Every structure is written in C-alpha cells, then in structure tokens.
Amino acid sequence: MADIGKLVRLLKELEEDLASCTRCGMCQAVCPLYGQTGRETDVARGKLVLVENLSREILDDPQAVKKRLDRCLLCGSCAAACPGGVPVLEVFLKARAVITGYLGLSPVKRAIFRGFLSNPDRLDNLLKWMGRLQGPFTRSANKILGTSCARFMSPVIGDRHFMPIAAAAWHTKASRGFSGPRQDGRIRVVFYPGCLADKILPRLADAAMEVFAFHDVDVFVADKAPCCGIPALSSGDVKTFSTLVKKNLNIWQPLDFDYLVTPCATCTSTIVKLWPAMEDYLWDKSRKTKEQVRKIAAKTMDISAFFVDILGVEALPDAGPETVTYHDPCHLKKSLGVEKQPRSLLGAAGTCRLIEMKNADQCCGMGGSFNLEHYELSEKIGAKKRDAILATGADTIATGCPACMLQITDLLSHAKSRVTVQHPIEIYARSLREKQKEKPK
Amino acid sequence: MMNKNLVRQFEKIAGAGNVMGEEADRHAYAYDSAVLDSVVPALVVRPDTIEQLGRIVALCNENGTPLTVRGSGTNLSGGTIPTGTDAVVVVTNGLARILEINPQDLYAVVEPGVITAQFAAAAAEQGLFYPPDPGSQAVSTLGGNVAENAGGLRGLKYGVTKDYVMGMEFFDVNGEIVKSGSRTVKCATGFNLSDLMVGSEGLLGVFARIILKLIPPPKASRAMTAVFASVEQASEAVAAIIADRIVPCTLEFLDNFTIRTVEDFRHAGLPVDAEALLLIEVDGHPAEVSEDAEKIQEICRKNGAVQVRAAKNEAEKELIWQARRDALPALARLKPTTVLEDATVPRSRIPDMVKKIKEIGRIYNLDIGTFGHAGDGNLHPTILTDRRDHKEFARVEKAIDDIFDAALAMGGTLSGEHGIGLAKRKYMEKETSKGTILYSRKLKQTFDPKNILNPGKMIGD
C-alpha cells in the first residue's frame, strides 16, 4: 500500500476513538516515558493528536508520526488512567499497523517476523543453535541472578545483562495431551508458556506444571508454541500477527478445555484484550473466526488469577522468614486488573512475608521491543524500579511477567544485587515441594 | 518554520536536543485542554535551566518573536495555545526543581515547572500543607497555577493560588530578573509586583522562581453527604452553614444530570432521583471538627435534606470524594467533546444560576451537567457535544454566551479559576469596562513594548 489516500482512509476509521480524547493531559501523570523526557510527543495526548492530524491531512509526514508513535512502552498506564476512557493502546496498535502498511516493514523486522516468528519450528531451531553457540561469546555477570553479558563489544547486546537462551525450547520436552476423556469435576487447562518462559526461563514453566499436578489439574501442552503475536503487532506487522493467531487457534480450537492459562502477563493481555480488538485485521473477517477468537479470549487467564480465582488458593495466615516484594506488570494490573491474585499466591506459599515497594505498579521500562530500540531510556525508567526494589530490603522480587523479570534481572545484575527474581508461581511451587518433603511418607 | 539562523541561536542557548523544530513535534504543542482551534508554533524550546529561560526571553524580544510559555498544557481557556504560527512555545516542565521547603518559616521556593501534586506531597512529607488543589493538580505546573490564579476544591476555606504566593522572581522581556515579595510574612518593599503577576496569563513576564506559603495541616477532618429534592433547598443549606459561622474546607455540589451520569459510570449507589447532592468536608482541631460535622448534618436536615450521611472511616470518605472526582470523567464519556466552563456567581445565587443553566440547555437543546464548588459559587456547567457537528457546536457557542450573560447579570464573574485566555476575551469588557481594557493594554505596552508575551490573550491586541 503506497497510496496516501488509502492511509488516510484507514486512519479515518479510528476517528471516533481519536475524537474522544479531550486533551485533558492527565496521561502526563502516569506515562513512564514522559516522566523521563517531558516531551508531548512521548505522551498519549501528543501521539493521538499526531495520528489525528495525519488522518485529517493536516500533517503529511507518516514517517515522522511513526517514529514518534513507536517511542512507547505500550504499558497502557495512560489508558488505565484516562478520564475519558480512550482505548489508547488499541488506537496506537491500529495506527502502527496502518502506517506500517503504508511505509512497509524495515528489512530487519521483515526478516525476523516473516522469516522466523511466523515459523515456530524455524524459530525453535534458530534459538537451539544460538543456545549452543552463546557460550564463547558471553560470560557470567551475576551468579545469583544467573545473568550473562557480552564477552566482546556487541552492537546487539550492548551493556545488557541477560538470561541465557535455554538449550532447548521447553515445550519440545514437556508437550503432553490431556490424561484421557473429560472427567467430572477435573478442570482441563491448556498451558501456554509464552516465548520467554518457553525459551529463556523454562524453570518457570516447570514450576507451573508442578503446581498444576499438585492441584490435580488436567493439563495440555502443545508440541508447538507459536508466539502470541505481540512483537509483530507492536511493530505494525499485522500479517505476521494474523498468521500467529491462526496457528495458535488451529492448535486450541479442536481441544475440549476450560481455561487457557499462561504465566506471561503480556501473552495473557494480548490474547484477552488485543486479539479481539484486532479482529478486523485478521486473515479472515468471518463472524465464525471472530467468535472463535472471542471464545478463546474469554477462557484465557493469568496463572496466578487461575489458581486464586478458580481453584480458591488462599494466602496462609503465617508467613515464613523470607521477604519478598512484588512488582505489578503493567499488562496484568493496568490491562486486566489482576493485582490481588499474585499477592495471594505469594501468601499461599507461606514461606515469605510481602513487603510492598513504593509505586509497585510503575512500569519497569521493558516494553518488549522498546528495550531493544531505546535501551538507554528503558534503563532510566527501570532505575526507579530498581531503587524501589532495593529500598524494601526484600530477599526476592516477584513479578507475574517473564519480560518484567528479564528487565528487573538486568537492572539488579548491573547493581551487583543479591536479590533474586522469581515468578509467584515459582515461589508457590517451591513451598509445595518443601511441604511434600516434610510429609512423612 | 523559523529561519535557520534564529533556530541556531535558540539551540546555542538551550542545546540542540532541547529545541524542537520538526513539524511533527511542533504539532504536539499547538493545543491545550480548551476546546479551541490549534495553532502550530514555529519552534518549541524546552530549557533545562532558569538562566537559559532568561536568555530565550531576551532573544525572542530582540527578534520580535511572540512567545507563549507552557507548563503541562492543561489550560482550559486557551492560554497556552500559541498566538500565531510565528510564535515560540517555551516549555517549562524541564524547570522542575523544588529549591527549598522551609518548615521553620513556612515557605517554599520552586521553579515554575514543578507539578502541583508533587509539590503538595513534598510539603506533606515535611509535615506542611499546600492547599490549592485544581482539578488538574496531578499534572499542572505551579507556574501555570500562578499564571492562571488556579483554584480548586478547597477555595472556600483556604483560598486560591494567589493567597499562597509570597513573592517571586520573573524575567522581563529583556531577560532581566525582577524581584518582588519576600520569604517573610510581612513585606512592604516596592511595588507589589508578584500580586500583579498572579493571573497575568503570561502577558507581563516569565516566572523564574516562586516563593509559596505553606501552612500547618489540619489535625482532623470529616466528610459527609446530603441529598436534596431541590437545588433551592441545597443552596439554603449552604447559606445556613455559612451563616452559622462554619466554613467547611470543601462544599461541593452535583446536579441531577451529573448524579445520574456518575451513578451510571461507577454504580456506587448515588440517589439518582435527587435534584442536588452536597459533598461536604470540615477540617481542623478534632473537637471542632466533630462539633461542626454534627451541626452541619442538623442544618442540612432542617433545610429539607432527604438523607444525610457522614463517613465513618477513611474508606467511606474516599467513596464520597470518588463521586466528585468521577463527575468530569463520567460526563466526558457521554460525548466526544466536553466544554467545561467556570462561570461564578455569589453563592446565594446558585439556585438561580442552576435554573438558568438548565433553561439554556433546554433552549439550545444541549446536554449540560452542572457540578462545582457550591461554597464559593464557582459552578462548572459542562456542555456535552461533538465538535464535528457544526450545527450543534454553533448552538453550544450561543449557550456559552448566555451562560456568561446570566452570571454577569447576577453579579458574578466570567472565570472562577480557568482564566480568560482566548476563550473568554470577547466577554472581558462586558464584565469590566472599556477603560479596564485600555488600562490593561497600556500596562502591557509598558512592560512589553514589542507585544511578544502571549499576545492577543485576555485583553486582545
């Protein structure tokens, strides 16, 4: 699409949502990026104005608008705080899709999204090789956190302290079908690890499986784990996004299950909120497909919410000697309103006392590809989170999102911290393990 | 777009990273929160230091370049919309240092870009209280509050921004520092220029540092609600409370339309049949608070309140104020465009004004929700419309004319707390006089002979 008329026409479809911004500017109070830069083009109000002006042909520079639109963590803090209820994230993602459709994807993104992300097998293979080869190029950075950093100057890795890629994608070893036909009263769950748990933090997916087993949940793990599509969608590549939604639907559609559970805040909010929001951008616009997407969205749950809300796991009256602080992932609290459940799950472990950090729901600065493209800003935003975590003096920082975990790990590793980073499900799983040990056989 | 040579000079002063000349960046500084047309400036400069700010002002003056100072751009009367496409917008949110909070002498010194709520929180950390709380306090800057003489919910008892400005330093058009006022309670040195600067809407100088008064916080507070079957009764209750020598710190009013809208939005159990809801809070010494709270409830009942309730704890108090905070967001969700006015009348005329606003809504076939500060007569008739509907918007403009005429006829004022800016300048003479406009223009001409400081606002050219 290189037709500016079409660009304008497609952006006009966002008119109602754009018009609902009253320019009150309250988004300035919550935007982590604006908090750093103070620039109006970094906050939702400014970005909405740019998209609107582009759609009204007052501004005719799609490239310039895209550049500013892409400087966003997609954390949704603005949407959650918007007095007028503007669906900011949806508008941004749709605008990114329309403008990217007009300008085209960058060659690098095209190669990554179309070449690998949309082909889960090929991606698994690539990562397997990277997992094997990463040794000579990296060295250990922080033993407690298990991070590595680049051994040599690397333009891609930069100064990041990262978790190494797993030797093999978790699902290739863990895939399993339901135990048999549906049994009365036994909940059937499709467990979707999400790319980060699958490929970088498999210990988290293992922990989830232990907890499912303890609570006698019948679990299905697919032998393929296509991405939920958010990296492609946030880059405006709706074609890859659509392919990935389809691949996932093809796996899940034939199954008879009650819930789709993920340990990833971003995957959960993508499936629950963005899949239905982007239904007009999918491969087929039939009512049947839309209904399938909505049904899956309605069954999808965050793992802490699943155990607390569905299985009734409750916090224990006594806490253990350890201390933990909890970071609210934006995509859990602001997108889905999930804030109590992960804390309850931590309480249910009975091994640690929760110390709330200051501004627990302030974004950690990760923002997915934002971290890749704007590492310095991401670090600055993260510095506040790091300080808030360290100020609690807690032994562990828990958070319900693998992406936040990676960012926080990087921040703490640089600070030479001894605080460990865990998912609530890991802490709960460990407590179950310890209780099993204590039980006389 | 500005000529390159001049842009380079701005870059020399503020650093290239703080000067925004690209079209897309300039488009993001063409508006504020007022429902008015955008004007894209020629350049945007965001200084890091007060020294840079002074040099920017001087450079604008040398070149006769109009200059609009902008904090967070939440102005509701168009005060921060650039005057013309040749204008420079100077953003002050990079000048956000709290320079001093002095608990012994009860004052603070701030740069103009400090956010109101953050300042109030910093003062609270030191056990002090900064009362002005405009609706936009979470994002508004203190410089903007002073330039507009912003008010808020606590106006009745604690006053507005002007009551907390002890002094300031500001730049004249030549970038020279002008000092007025002091860190002392008493100060009879020189012209009282800082009072002149309060509410001057960026027309007379550019703030560099502001000295603000702080007070000890009240030790206790109590919130309550009273439901009335008529606005008259509610208003009589308000008058009776004041007549009984009780000054609540907050005395807010919601009309039936607003009550229904908020209830639809939050489902908090508001009385949807009520014609008026009063939200009242008293604060002070614990003994005084409990006595006043009792009296107020009694007065409300005597004046026909159908239901009176006092919050029993913090959570209940929070619920009461949530309803007030929900008023604007809930109304704003009904239609794309929200025109929020702040016509103010003597408090005894509130029933007449509410009746009049209702009538105006009927005449022009518009949805108007009215809420606001019953204690000080500062109402917020909020017109819900869609700016893209030109026919309806023409009726909105007529309705606004009528609302202002009505407020003035009742001895009120055009603006309680939003300022005049572009939106209300055409009514200025109606409230004041031709002489006032001429006098103000002469004053501006003296301070700003090239007419570069936010030209065209408030008093026209």
Contact yes or no for A64 and B94 at CB 8 A: no
Which CATH number characterizes residue A383's domain?
3.40.50
- A392 touches A357 (CB < 8 A): yes
CA-closest candidate to residue B374, choices B274, B187, B247: B247
Contact yes or no for B28 and A49 at CB 8 A: yes
Of the ranges A131-135, A158-162, A245-249, the best mean pLDDT one = A245-249
Contact yes or no for A40 and B138 at CB 8 A: no
At residue B260, what is the residue type? R
Nearest by CB to residue B25, choosing from A23, A41, A53, is A41
Check residue B70 and give its pLDDT: 98
Mutate one of B72, B80, B340 to test the A interface: name it (highest A CB count within 10 A).
Answer: B72
Size of interface A-B (CB pairs under 8 A): 82
In a shared domain, residues A297 and A172:
yes
Burial of A195 (0-12, 13-18, 19+ CB in 10 A): buried
Instruction: Look at phi and psi of residue B221 and say left if phi exceeds 0, alpha if psi is from -120 to 50, else beta.
Output: beta
Packing angle, helices A62-70 and A88-103, rounded to 10? 140
Residues of B in Cβ contact (< 8 Å) with A49: 27-28, 30-31, 38
In a shared domain, residues A157 and A44:
no
Burial of B129 (0-12, 13-18, 19+ CB in 10 A): middle
Structural domain ending residue among the three candidates A103, A132, A158: A103
Tokens matching residue B194: 């800082």
Would you give the DSSP letter of residue B453? Answer: B
In a shared domain, residues A291 and A319:
no
Backbone angles phi, psi at A261, to 5 degrees: -115, 135
Residues of B in Cβ contact (< 8 Å) with A28: 72, 139
Tokens matching residue A230: 């958010």
Nearest by CB to residue A20, choosing from B72, B93, B336, is B336
At residue B408, what is the residue type? L
B91 touches chain A (CB under 8 A): yes
Contact yes or no for B74 and A24 at CB 8 A: yes
Listed by number, the residues of chain A in 131-190 with a beta carbon closer than 8 Å to a beta carbon of chain B are none
With CA atoms as reference, the chain B residue closest to A59 would be B24
Residues of A in Cβ contact (< 8 Å) with B32: 23, 25
Burial of A303 (0-12, 13-18, 19+ CB in 10 A): buried
B22 touches chain A (CB under 8 A): yes
Instruction: Flag whether A114 is in a domain.
Output: no
Listed by number, the residues of chain A in 65-84 with a beta carbon closer than 8 Å to a beta carbon of chain B are 65, 67-68, 83-84
In a shared domain, residues A161 and A213:
yes
Q: What is the rounded CA–CA span in Å between residue A60 and residue A436?
A: 65
- Tell me the DSSP string of B58-95: HHHHHHT--EEEESSS--SSSTTS-SSTT-EEEE-TT-
Nearest by CB to residue A83, choosing from B32, B73, B332, is B332
- Pick the more confident residue, B142 or A437: B142
Structural domain ending residue among the three candidates A309, A326, A345: A309
In a shared domain, residues A267 and A236:
yes
Instruction: Flag whether A421 is in a domain.
Output: yes
Which CATH number characterizes residue A248's domain?
3.40.50.1860
Split at pLDDT 50, 70, 90, the class of A27 is very high
Instruction: Flag whether A259 is in a domain.
Output: yes
B332 touches chain A (CB under 8 A): yes
Contact yes or no for A83 and B329 at CB 8 A: yes
Sign of CA dihedral B238, B240, B242, B245: negative
Taking the CA of residue B456 and the nearest CA in chain A, the distance in Å comes to 22
Residues of B in Cβ contact (< 8 Å) with A85: 329, 333
Residues of B in Cβ contact (< 8 Å) with A53: 27
- Tell me the DSSP string of B289-332: HHHHHHHHHHHHHHTT-SEEEE--SHHHHHHHHHHHHHHHHHHH
Structure confidence by residue, pLDDT tens digits, A235-256: 999 999 999 999 999 999 999 9
Contact yes or no for B33 and A25 at CB 8 A: yes
Sign of CA dihedral A214, A220, A226, A231: negative
Check residue B420 and give its pLDDT: 96
Give chain A's domain count: 3
**pLDDT over 60 (residue A441):** no
Q: What is the rounded CA–CA span in Å between residue A289 and residue B440?
A: 66
Question: What are residue B381's DSSP bridge partners?
Answer: B370
Give the domain extent around A326: 312-438
Structural domain ending residue among the three candidates A290, A309, A328: A309
In a shared domain, residues A191 and A241:
yes
At residue B388, what is the residue type? R
Contacting residues for B349 by C-beta, under 8 A, at least 6 apart: B377, B410, B411, B412
Instruction: Flag whether A9 is in a domain.
Output: yes
At residue A314, what is the residue type? E
Contact yes or no for A59 and B24 at CB 8 A: yes
In a shared domain, residues A359 and A243:
no
Contacting residues for B172 by C-beta, under 8 A, at least 6 apart: B57, B178, B205, B447
- A60 touches A78 (CB < 8 A): no
Check residue A384 and give its pLDDT: 96
Residues of A in Cβ contact (< 8 Å) with B117: 29
In order of start, what are the domains of chain B with their CATH numbers? Answer: 4-91 (3.30.43.10), 98-213 (3.30.465.10), 219-333 (3.30.70.3450), 335-429 (3.30.70.2740)
A58 touches chain B (CB under 8 A): yes
B48 touches chain A (CB under 8 A): no
B8 touches chain A (CB under 8 A): no
Instruction: Tell me the three state secondary structure of residue B349.
Output: helix
With CA atoms as reference, the chain A residue closest to B327 would be A83
Contact yes or no for A83 and B328 at CB 8 A: yes
DSSP collapsed to 3 states, chain A: CCCHHHHHHHHHCCHHHHHCCCCCCHHHHCCHHHHHHCCHHHCHHHHHHHHHHHHCCCCCCHHHHHHHHHCCCCCCHHHHHCCCCCCHHHHHHHHHHHHHHHHCCCHHHHHHHHHHHCCHHHHHHHHHHHHHHCHHHEEEEECCCCEEEECCCCCCCCCCCECCCCCCCHHHHHCECCCCCCCCCCCEEEECCHHHHHHCCHHHHHHHHHHHHHCCCEEEECCCCCCCCHHHHHCCCHHHHHHHHHHHHHHHCCCCCCEEEECCHHHHHHHHHHHHHCHHHCCCCCHHHHHHHHHHHHHEEEHHHHHHHHCCCCCCCCCCCEEEEEECCHHHHHHHCCCHHHHHHHHHHCCEEECCCCCCCCCCCCCCHHHHHCHHHHHHHHHHHHHHHHHHCCCEEEECCHHHHHHHHHHHHHCCCCCEEECHHHHHHHHHHHHHHHCCC
**pLDDT over 80 (residue A131):** no
B33 touches chain A (CB under 8 A): yes
Check residue A2 and give its pLDDT: 65
Contact yes or no for A25 and B386 at CB 8 A: no
Check residue B215 and give its pLDDT: 98
Check residue A90 and give its pLDDT: 96
Instruction: Flag whether A278 is in a domain.
Output: yes
Contact yes or no for B28 and A84 at CB 8 A: no
- Which helix (H) or strand (E) segment is B224 a member of? strand B220-228
Q: What is the rounded CA–CA span in Å between residue A234 and residue B159?
A: 48
CA-closest candidate to residue B143, choices B123, B105, B169: B169
Mutate one of B22, B27, B93 to test the A interface: name it (highest A CB count within 10 A).
Answer: B27
Structure confidence by residue, pLDDT tens digits, A372-394: 889 999 999 999 999 999 999 99
Instruction: Flag whether A250 is in a domain.
Output: yes
Q: What are the Cα distances from residue B332, in Å, to A22, A23, B302, B336, B391? A: 8, 11, 35, 7, 20
Contact yes or no for B27 and A58 at CB 8 A: yes
Taking the CA of residue A393 and the nearest CA in chain B, the distance in Å comes to 22
Check residue A237 and give its pLDDT: 95
Residues of B in Cβ contact (< 8 Å) with A70: none
Per residue of chain B (461 residues), what is the pLDDT tens digit? 789 999 999 999 999 999 999 999 999 999 999 999 999 999 999 999 999 999 999 999 999 999 999 999 999 999 999 989 999 999 999 999 999 999 999 999 999 999 999 999 999 999 999 999 999 999 999 999 999 999 999 999 999 999 999 999 999 999 999 999 999 999 999 999 999 999 999 999 999 999 999 999 999 999 999 999 999 899 899 989 999 999 999 999 999 999 999 999 888 889 999 999 999 999 999 999 999 999 999 999 999 999 999 999 999 998 889 889 899 989 999 999 999 999 999 988 998 999 999 999 999 999 999 999 998 999 999 999 999 999 999 999 999 999 999 999 999 999 999 999 999 999 999 999 999 999 999 999 999 999 999 999 999 88
Taking the CA of residue B136 and the nearest CA in chain A, the distance in Å comes to 7
CA-closest candidate to residue A34, choices A47, A21, A22: A47
Instruction: Flag whether A226 is in a domain.
Output: yes
With CA atoms as reference, the chain A residue closest to B71 would be A38
With CA atoms as reference, the chain A residue closest to B94 would be A38
In a shared domain, residues A162 and A304:
yes
Residues of B in Cβ contact (< 8 Å) with A62: none
In a shared domain, residues A338 and A304:
no
**pLDDT over 60 (residue A1):** no
Backbone angles phi, psi at B169, to 5 degrees: -115, 135
A251 touches chain B (CB under 8 A): no
Which CATH number characterizes residue A86's domain?
1.10.1060.10
Contacting residues for B188 by C-beta, under 8 A, at least 6 apart: none
Instruction: Look at phi and psi of residue A396 and say left if phi exceeds 0, alpha if psi is from -120 to 50, else beta.
Output: beta
Structure confidence by residue, pLDDT tens digits, A32-91: 999 999 999 999 999 999 999 999 999 999 999 999 999 999 999 999 999 989 999 999
- Pick the more confident residue, A319 or A248: A248
B285 touches chain A (CB under 8 A): no
Tokens matching residue A92: 């941004």
Contact yes or no for B136 and A58 at CB 8 A: no
In a shared domain, residues A302 and A318:
no
Nearest by CB to residue B338, choosing from A22, A41, A50, is A22
Task: Please report how many Cα atoms fall inside a 13 Å half-sphere around the Cα of residue A429, on the Cβ side.
Answer: 19
Q: What is the rounded CA–CA span in Å between residue B456 and residue B114?
A: 27
Which residue's structure tokens are 């807690």?
A: A394
In a shared domain, residues A303 and A366:
no
Instruction: Flag whether A127 is in a domain.
Output: no
B386 touches chain A (CB under 8 A): yes
- A302 touches A262 (CB < 8 A): yes
- B210 touches B247 (CB < 8 A): no
In a shared domain, residues A277 and A179:
yes
- B315 touches A67 (CB < 8 A): no
With CA atoms as reference, the chain A residue closest to B325 would be A83
